[in-house]
Amino acid sequence: MTPFSYRCTDCGRTYSRDEVRYLCPECGKGYHPGIPLLGVLEVVFDYEAIRRAFDRAQPDWNLFCPVEKEFHPPLPVGNTPLGRVDRLGAELGLSSLWVKNDGLNPSGSLKDRASFLVVAEARRLGIDLVVAASTGNAASALAAVCATTDTKALIFVPEKAPKAKLVQMVLYGAKVVPVKGTYDDAFALSLEYTAQRGGLNRNTAYHPLTIEGKKTAGLEIWAQLGYQVPEAILISVGDGVILGGVHKAFVDLQRAGLIDRLPRLIGVQAETSDAIHRYVETGVYSDAANPTTRADSISVTCPSNAHGARRAVLDSQGLTLTVTDDEILEAQALLAGRSGIFTEPAGATALAGLVKLQAGPNRLTGSGPVVILATGHGLKDVEAPLSRISIPAAVAPVLASLSL
Ligand SMILES: *Cc1c(COP(=O)(O)O)cnc(C)c1O
Ligand SMILES: [Zn+2]
């Protein structure tokens, strides 16, 4: 760990580590459920200390981590493989295309990274209950991490979350409360719970260490490319915290003098859950009217990190785009069939965005590596791809019945 303070991303006020917990006390006053979070806090390290201590030959990633190692839960999270996908790259006109397979985290999604760090923080603070609202993955991640510690998990999820995700949370031993309503309803209820009944709230972006946890995916990409900044990283976007976290990784590296530019961050949203995309394009925020996408993990009316996500895209000279559910499911099949990686619809959304981008005027040139972040495992929701494939009928076990 390196010494750090919190800085408000809206007003710039700084706070010491134990002075604040969630949002900026000043800007957060203006926040109420139903609008994107105000006063999201950013961790600002002693970058000179990181610069002096970081050694590429023996990288100590704890330098970039805001919770001491002694509090880390005993569950290996992250360090997921980054692999080249040449068959896919050839089709998309990119000679150096890579997939970071974050579905290979313990609970099957990138959310493990955020849960890991918030549970570490709860242990540092001596709080034995962590509360979260989730579309499904943040909750199963929190439940998995808590299973390895004395910390309890209390989870609010929309009742329509995919079965496998609900099974995971219950099996890991969390207290699960399905909510009759949307993810946004669950988010509001969980905030009310921690405000009135206690526990540490893990809601995405609301707890600043969710961004720091997701940041680790970006640090790994840099290291796995041989300490190279990619041309672009494609990221599926719901609340915009993965996007914000990956941006923070490269901002930290730049502030520490370890890199001299940011990768272009390309945020991809589902067409019906497009609040951040429209905010980036127009500069004016409004909710997604009716997020009905099959990519449940990115189905959000009011993205909590809308402001941070927009800043991340603009700062990195990136862009956002939207894709339809058909394009998402096609991309899921394309990735599976070309690379052997089975990612859930939200994970495939990033590739769907790349396919669309490469067919249009803003296509990536391939001047450097391009990375697709596959954020969750495909087995979390097998109903989604089943809507467009069929399992062959069974045959009698005699060779004559085979037409192959
Ligand atoms: C949560 C999630 C996302 C989106 O992350 P945000 O931080 O909400 O933008 C994308 N893919 C998967 C699989 C997720 O679980
Ligand atoms: Zn502030």
Q: What would the pLDDT profile of 36-67 be if each residue is shown by its tens digit?
A: 999 999 999 999 999 999 999 999 999 999 99
Residue 27, CA distances (Å) to 12, 34, 43, 44, 191 in order:
10, 16, 16, 18, 17
- DSSP, collapsed to helix, strand or coil, labels residue 341 as coil
Q: What CA–CA distance (Å, rounded) separates 119 from 105?
A: 16
299 in Cβ contact with 384 (< 8 Å): no
Percent pLDDT > 70 in the chain is 100
Domains and CATH numbers, the chain: 82-108+208-386 (3.40.50.1100)
Confidence of residue 162 (pLDDT cuts 50, 70, 90): confident
What pTM, to 2 d.p., does this model score? 0.97
For 146, residues 6+ apart whose C-beta sits below 8 A from its C-beta are: 73, 119, 130, 152, 153, 172, 173, 174
Q: What CA–CA distance (Å, rounded) separates 392 from 224?
A: 39
**Is the CB of 384 inside a 6 Å radius of any atom of ligand 1?**
no
Nearest atom (ligand 1) to Cα of 244: 7
| Of the candidates 70, 81, 74, 175, the residue with the CA atom closest to the CA atom of residue 124 | 70
Question: Which pLDDT value is given to residue 404?
Answer: 84
Residue ranges in 41-182 assigned as alpha helix (H): 47-53, 86-92, 111-125, 137-146, 163-171
Tell me: pLDDT of 182 over 90.
no
**End-to-end Cα spacing for the chain:** 59
**Is the CB of 242 inside a 6 Å radius of any atom of ligand 1?**
yes
Question: Which pLDDT value is given to residue 183?
Answer: 87
C-alpha 74 – ligand 2 centre gap (Å): 34
C-alpha 108 – ligand 1 centre gap (Å): 12
For 194, residues 6+ apart whose C-beta sits below 8 A from its C-beta are: 131, 200, 201
Q: Among 80, 101, 107, 109, which is best to mutate for testing ligand 1, by the most ligand atoms less than 8 A from CB?
A: 109
Which pair of tokens denotes residue 91? Answer: 């089709």
Average pLDDT, the chain: 96
At 144, the amino acid letter reads: A
